[in-house]
Amino acid sequence: MSGSYSGQTVLVTGASRGIGLACARHFSGQGARVALVARSADRLEAVAAELGNGAVAIPADTADPADCARVIATVTERLGPIDVLVSNAGILRRDFIEDISVSDFEESYRTNVGGAVWLAKAAIPGMRERGRGAIVLVSSELGLIGAPSYGSYCMSKFALIGLAEVLSHELAGTGVRVAVVCPGNVRTDQLAEEYAWGLGAGAPPEKALAPEAVAATIAAAAEGGPLVVLADKPALKLGFDAMFAMPRRLRLMIIRDAYKALLKDRRARLGA
């Protein structure tokens, strides 16, 4: 099928499930040659077989800088220069700041932030030389607000907003576009696991945004537009925008109220 990405090479990380899988399907449906990157070789091969011609599975751990460099080199060799890089791979763990371990913190940052950094570093020289390309980072609405019990996740997703802003300055005038997409709750296995952990806020899995809608937003962001893009249902986007128009102290009160049951349970468990 031809489309707006016909003949282009698109690299998607975290492509074996969830938002990444939806992105792979979307870009492939738009005519792109899609490089699929994730740690699970079996899942990637199944996705590549589903998508057919032009899809290549490249198992890799994007938390490893050497793996990231290998991925960019392999994609360029097998599919040609990278037109769009979608850094979506990430992990979500629920944790209070008092409970974060060193290993958990490092894994979250190396996966959620490090992979995006190392892939961009390896892809940018080619994009800069050609004078075109797009880098889309997948953050979260929890990269814009701090929420209790999402310590390591919020910190790493906030970092992606900063990374996108830095890249937007460094790549200004080069022809390379940069965007960071911030989805709300998305109907994925990860969200189901998140809710199984315990009390939370936002739309439950059965009412959450479809990953296909986020994939469409990511593809549109790669074509140009705002640096920071919210991906959520229209009513929730309006509410989020309204909340950010408020003074910070009011925004913090709203967020705290949304998690009051969780915080009350936490205090009870600690005997406070």
Residues that are catalytic:
153
User: Quick one: three-class SS letters along the chain?
Assistant: CCCCCCCCEEEEECCCCHHHHHHHHHHHHCCCEEEEEECCHHHHHHHHHHHCCCCEEEECCCCCHHHHHHHHHHHHHHHCCCCEEEECCCCCCCECHHHCCHHHHHHHHHHHHHHHHHHHHHHHHHHHHHCCEEEEEECCHHHCCCCCCEHHHHHHHHHHHHHHHHHHHHCCCCCEEEEEEEECCECCHHHHHHHHHCCCCCCCHHHCECHHHHHHHHHHHHCCCCCEEEECCHHHHHHHHHHHCCCHHHHHHHHHHHCHHHHHHHHHHHCC
Do 161 and 118 contact (CB within 8 A), yes or no? no
- Parallel, antiparallel, or unpaired: how do β-strands 33-38 and 56-59 relate? parallel
Side-chain half-sphere exposure of 244, counting CA atoms within 13 A: 10
> Helix 234-244 vs helix 248-258: angle between axes, to the nearest 10 degrees?
130
